Amino acid sequence: MFTESAEFYDLIYSTMKDYPREAAQIAGVLRRVNPQCRTVLDVACGTGEHARLLAAQGFDVDGMDLDPAFVRMAQQKHPAGRFFEGDMSGFQLPRRYDAVLCLFSSIGYLQTLDRVSSAINCFREHLAPGGVIMIEPWFGPGVLDPARVTQQVGEGNGVRVSRVTRVEVDGRFSRLCFDYEITDATGTRHASEVHHLGLFSTEELMRTFREAGLEADYDPKGLSDRGLFVATVAGA
């Protein structure tokens, strides 16, 4: 997915995400819902920035991502953690965790509710007793504006990256069209990516949690105005 931009991911998102604030908020929620929470699995961990910061908050954090470049970067960033390459809709790790996280709308990349259901069931299978699942969703149907065009610019270490984002909506699917201009000591080059994410309503996701035997609370603001689901095993 981030085949053209993995090495510039942190540079781009440093201009638009407050990772320390988000990590502090995540830590507060985890400790409130599960005061004994210590071990955390960050699914779709990206470059490991949340993992690194949560470890600094005192958690024992591992991660998993589909992109091998992100897995390598996260391992370098947080050497004390264990990072795995895998598909969030079907994986089996040798450990159970007090919390399983899936942040920054990564769940949308599964595209269909069937695959979301598989992922949530897989998350539950990796929970230790009393564990908590935290999912930051993508936007629901009817929210995205296809006419909106945004630009982010990141600069550092002699590199300047400009990314222009356009959104296309086709029924219950969205496409993020990224166009990059990358300037460094060798000159300027251009690259493009298209990311496909499914559009799921809050009600659909709440039903998916229930069907997995989980009780979920929904915060419509969440970490970054995209909402946040916090779920525990029903009746536990």
Q: Crossing angle, helix 202-211 and helix 113-125, to 10 degrees?
A: 40
Q: Which residue range forms the structural domain that includes residue 159?
A: 149-198
- Same domain membership, residue 98 and residue 135: yes
- Same domain membership, residue 80 and residue 135: yes
The yes-or-no verdict on residue 236 having pLDDT over 80 is no
Q: CATH code at 56?
A: 3.40.50.150
- Same domain membership, residue 44 and residue 95: yes
Per-residue pLDDT tens over the stretch 180-234: 999 999 999 999 999 999 999 999 999 999 999 999 999 999 999 999 999 999 9
Position 235 confidence tier, pLDDT thresholds 50, 70, 90? confident
Position 145 confidence tier, pLDDT thresholds 50, 70, 90? very high
In a 13 Å sphere around the CA of 4, the CA atoms on its Cβ side amount to 16
The yes-or-no verdict on residue 5 having pLDDT over 80 is yes
**Dihedral Cα 141, 123, 91, 97, nearest 10 deg:** 140
The pLDDT of residue 85 is: 98
The pLDDT of residue 48 is: 98
Rounded to 5 degrees, what are φ and ψ at 2? -100, 40
- Same domain membership, residue 210 and residue 194: no
- Same domain membership, residue 135 and residue 53: yes
Which residue matches tokens 């979301």? 116
Q: CA 115, CA 121: separation in Å to the nearest integer?
A: 10
The pLDDT of residue 1 is: 80
- Same domain membership, residue 159 and residue 81: no
- Same domain membership, residue 175 and residue 213: no
Give the per-residue SS3 of the chain.
Answer: CCCCCHHHHHHHHCCCCCHHHHHHHHHHHHHHHCCCCCEEEEECCCCCHHHHHHHHCCCEEEEEECCHHHHHHHHHHCCCCCEEECCCCCCCCCCCEEEEEECCCHHHHHCCHHHHHHHHHHHHHCEEEEEEEEECCCCCCCCCCCCCEEEEEEEECCEEEEEEEEEEEECCEEEEEEEEEEEECCEEEEEEEEEEEECCCHHHHHHHHHHCCEEEEEECCCCCCCCEEEEEECCC
The answer to whether residue 144 sits within a structural domain is: no
Calculate the average pLDDT of the chain.
97
Per-residue pLDDT tens over the stretch 90-117: 999 999 999 999 999 999 999 999 999 9
The pLDDT of residue 192 is: 97
Are 124 and 212 in contact by the 8 Å Cβ rule? The answer is yes
The answer to whether residue 48 sits within a structural domain is: yes
Q: CATH code at 189?
A: 2.20.130.10
Higher pLDDT residue, 1 or 145?
145
- Same domain membership, residue 63 and residue 108: yes
How many C-beta atoms lie closer than 10 Å to residue 16's C-beta?
A: 10
Specify the number of domains making up the chain: 2
Per-residue pLDDT tens over the stretch 22-39: 999 999 999 999 999 999
The answer to whether residue 127 sits within a structural domain is: yes
The pLDDT of residue 2 is: 87
- Same domain membership, residue 74 and residue 32: yes
Angle at 117 between CA 39 and CA 207, to 5 degrees: 100
Position 3 confidence tier, pLDDT thresholds 50, 70, 90? confident
> Smallest Cα–Cα separation from 85: which of 110, 113, 62, 52?
62
- Same domain membership, residue 162 and residue 109: no
The answer to whether residue 130 sits within a structural domain is: yes
